[in-house]
């Protein structure tokens, strides 16, 4: 009996331990679950930075950089942080001792040793200078609101700096009662602020569980119940970018020498929604001056284009003036002069966009050309115009290929135009196609891969010409042949053979005792290249140049790109 009683007592002890252990485990679990709603992860040793309702304090670039407020209340951010949050292309121009920065529609310079700000060419005085702290330049962000289109507010009582983009949604609501703002969207959570009845807050978002994320008047982010808010007011809405061309771009270059007037055009061009007339060229040794051949004929051309629903993205060519181009690219104020001249003629002639066609540049000027595009883009966007930039295939010679940073150009410009020709040109040591399908596709992959250009930015340029090749006195010779003239120059007995890798017809023929070769650009070869636009989801196509094509190509283009 005694032994049985002892056994029962032992069982009771074991059961009690099990119950206590289970209770402890449940308690630990509850604590672990709720602790994350109370444990602080705030950064309290510096001014907090909230940009567009996100606390980004932990993303400040260096431990020794932070938001700085001087004795006059001027608010500063380091140049590194400006680069991180607002302008990844900001840089110091050492020649003129100034900082150059851009935003969506603004291009600005800030004097380092003088309190002067220039925005899109207009000069303003700064009340706060650029300063140096811990070996780093700090910019007065409170005075750069027009540059970056932002609203800046420092909340002294909470030591929080809030910055809001003025092109983003901003909604306010009113508290219907006194309430606690929670760290998490849960009742059991740390209180981060108090809001009184009738106080206005910024609505960040509404959650499915009945909570809302808000920002208080102190700049503090947290959560409250949606039913505690009333009187929703939209101060401003998101301003999505409006594309000038809906659907695919179909651009044709309309080239005429800078020494002649614009051609007379009548009727319509099937399959086209953009024309790019060769209106402007750099003036040789002109330090940013440009020659224009618009004139009365050009004005009539623009009127014809607009009357028929075409956008006009006029070409600005450097005419392969290597030294003139280099001189301009190497000097900020010469680039600015060129940009001002481009804006002036673009506005004067009521253009819809600009097509930059700079070729034959020094490879060492690559980054400077990128700066020119970076500085031009916001100026054109401010006046509602599109910027497209012509570039060559990624791999090639210094002055033909290595002079372009396609990644930067593709990031900054509205469109980057891949001139997918000449695969084999006047400098080639062997005869070959101007634009074989496999070569074009391989380079599209390079744009998307090694160059990291977005597909929706790429316009695929196609040739309306080919080349015929022959040998004379042992030397390889070539001349271009317009697409429309191919059949005219071929002998009647010439036999075309389809090359499925190139997606072209090839022909070898003899004429006057000389043997010729030609890889033909025709409707079928263009149709094949057009298929790459849909395959890789590119922005559209362009064609060099109007007047050299076979008329039968236009309905093919219209169908492929769905151009009405």
- Other beta carbons within 10 Å of 373: 23
Q: What confidence score (pLDDT) does residue 4 get?
A: 58
Residue 444, both tokens: 């599209």
Give, in order, the Cα–Cα distances in Å from 204 to each of 52, 158, 167, 222, 536: 9, 19, 15, 9, 37
Q: What confidence score (pLDDT) does residue 29 get?
A: 46
Domains by residue range for the chain, with CATH: 48-155 (3.30.457.10), 169-236 (2.30.30.40), 253-464+522-561 (3.20.20.80)
Of 172, 193, 153, which Cα lies nearest the Cα of 73? 153
Q: What confidence score (pLDDT) does residue 32 get?
A: 43
Of 165, 138, 139, which Cα lies nearest the Cα of 151? 165
* Residue partners of 494: CB distance under 8 A and separation at least 6: 507, 509
* Residue partners of 195: CB distance under 8 A and separation at least 6: 175, 178, 179, 180, 181, 201, 216, 224
CA–CA gap between residue 270 and residue 309 (Å, rounded)? 11
- Other beta carbons within 10 Å of 399: 15
Q: What confidence score (pLDDT) does residue 259 get?
A: 87
Q: What confidence score (pLDDT) does residue 462 get?
A: 98
DSSP H or E stretch at residue 111: strand 107-111
pLDDT tens string, the chain, 564 residues long: the values are 555 555 566 666 666 666 666 555 554 444 444 455 555 557 778 899 999 999 999 988 666 668 999 999 999 999 999 999 999 999 999 999 999 999 999 999 999 999 999 999 999 999 999 999 988 999 999 999 999 999 999 999 999 999 999 999 999 999 999 999 999 999 889 999 999 999 999 999 999 999 999 999 999 999 999 999 999 999 999 888 889 999 999 999 999 988 899 999 999 999 999 999 999 999 999 999 999 999 999 999 999 999 999 999 999 999 999 999 999 999 999 999 999 999 999 999 999 999 999 999 999 999 999 999 999 999 999 999 999 999 999 988 999 999 999 999 999 999 999 999 999 999 999 999 999 999 999 999 999 999 999 999 999 999 999 999 999 999 999 999 999 999 999 999 999 999 999 999 999 999 999 999 999 999 999 999 999 999 999 999 999 999 999 999 999 999 999 998
The SS3 of residue 65 is coil
The residue behind tokens 């050309």 is 369
Q: What confidence score (pLDDT) does residue 365 get?
A: 98
Burial class of residue 333, CB neighbours in 10 A (0-12, 13-18, 19+): middle
Burial class of residue 288, CB neighbours in 10 A (0-12, 13-18, 19+): buried
Angle at 436 between CA 275 and CA 541, to 5 degrees: 20
Of 433, 393, 401, 441, which Cα lies nearest the Cα of 518? 433
**Are the CB atoms for 236 and 170 separated by under 8 Å?**
yes
Burial class of residue 374, CB neighbours in 10 A (0-12, 13-18, 19+): buried
**Are the CB atoms for 420 and 401 separated by under 8 Å?**
no
Q: What confidence score (pLDDT) does residue 28 get?
A: 43
Give, in order, the Cα–Cα distances in Å from 475 to each of 341, 427, 469, 471, 517: 45, 12, 11, 5, 14
Burial 133-149, CB ≥16 within 10 A → b, else e: eeeebbbbbbbbebbbb
Give, in order, the Cα–Cα distances in Å from 211 to each of 184, 196, 477: 10, 18, 75
Q: If you count DSSP H runs as helices and E runs as strands, how many of each does the chain have, helices first?
A: 12, 35
* Residue partners of 400: CB distance under 8 A and separation at least 6: 359, 360, 392
Q: In 115-215, which ranges are continuous DSSP H helix?
A: 145-148
The DSSP 8-state label assigned to residue 457 in this structure reads G
CA–CA gap between residue 118 and residue 152 (Å, rounded)? 20
- Distance between the two ends of the chain, CA-based, in angstroms? 102
């Amino acid at each position: 009996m005694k032994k049985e009683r002892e056994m029962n007592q032992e069982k009771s002890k074991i059961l009690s331990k099990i119950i206590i252990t289970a209770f402890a485990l449940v308690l630990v679990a509850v604590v672990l679950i709720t602790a994350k709603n109370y444990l602080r992860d705030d950064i309290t040793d510096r001014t907090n930075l909230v940009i567009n309702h996100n606390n980004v304090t932990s993303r400040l670039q260096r431990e020794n950089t932070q938001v700085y407020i001087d004795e006059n209340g001027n608010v500063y951010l380091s140049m590194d942080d400006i680069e991180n949050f607002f302008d990844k292309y900001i840089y110091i121009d050492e020649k003129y001792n100034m900082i150059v920065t851009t935003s969506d529609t603004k291009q600005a310079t800030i004097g380092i040793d003088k309190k002067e700000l220039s925005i899109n060419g207009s000069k303003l005085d700064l009340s706060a200078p650029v300063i140096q702290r811990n070996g780093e330049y700090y910019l007065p962000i409170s005075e750069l609101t027009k540059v970056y289109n932002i609203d800046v507010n420092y909340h002294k009582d909470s030591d929080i700096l809030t910055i809001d983009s003025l092109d983003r949604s901003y909604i306010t609501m009113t508290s219907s009662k006194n309430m606690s703002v929670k760290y998490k969207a849960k009742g059991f959570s740390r209180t981060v602020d108090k809001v009184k009845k009738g106080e206005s807050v910024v609505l960040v978002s509404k959650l499915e569980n009945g909570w809302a994320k808000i920002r208080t008047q102190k700049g503090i982010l947290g959560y409250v119940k949606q039913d505690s808010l009333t009187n929703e007011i939209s101060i401003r809405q998101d301003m999505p970018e409006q594309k000038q061309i809906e659907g695919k771009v179909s651009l044709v270059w309309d080239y005429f020498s800078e020494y002649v007037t614009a051609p007379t055009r009548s009727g319509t061009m099937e399959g086209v929604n953009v024309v790019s007339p060769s209106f402007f060229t750099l003036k040789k040794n002109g330090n940013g001056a440009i020659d224009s051949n618009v004139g009365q004929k050009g004005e009539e051309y623009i009127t014809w284009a607009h009357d028929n629903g075409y956008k006009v993205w006029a070409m600005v060519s450097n005419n392969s003036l290597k030294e003139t181009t280099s001189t301009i690219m190497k000097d900020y104020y010469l680039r600015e002069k060129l940009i001002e001249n481009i804006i002036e003629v673009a506005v004067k002639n009521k253009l819809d966009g600009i097509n930059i066609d700079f070729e034959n540049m020094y490879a060492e000027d690559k980054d400077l050309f990128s700066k020119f595009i970076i500085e031009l883009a916001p100026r054109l966007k401010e006046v509602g115009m599109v910027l497209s930039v012509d570039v060559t295939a990624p791999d090639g010679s210094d002055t033909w290929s290595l002079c372009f940073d396609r990644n930067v150009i593709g990031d900054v410009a509205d469109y980057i135009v891949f001139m997918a020709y000449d695969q084999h040109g006047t400098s080639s040591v062997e005869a070959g196609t101007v634009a074989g399908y496999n070569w074009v596709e391989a380079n599209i992959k390079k744009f998307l891969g090694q160059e990291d250009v977005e597909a929706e930015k790429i316009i695929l340029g196609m040739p309306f010409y080919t080349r015929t090749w022959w040998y004379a006195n042992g030397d390889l010779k070539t001349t271009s042949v317009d697409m429309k003239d191919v059949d005219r120059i071929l002998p009647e007995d010439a036999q075309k053979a389809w090359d499925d890798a190139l997606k072209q017809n090839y022909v070898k023929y003899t004429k006057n005792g000389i043997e010729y070769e030609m890889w033909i650009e025709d409707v079928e070869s263009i149709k094949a290249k057009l298929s790459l636009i849909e395959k890789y989801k590119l922005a559209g196509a362009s064609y060099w140049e109007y007047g050299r094509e076979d008329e039968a190509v236009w309905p093919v283009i219209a169908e492929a790109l769905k151009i009405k």
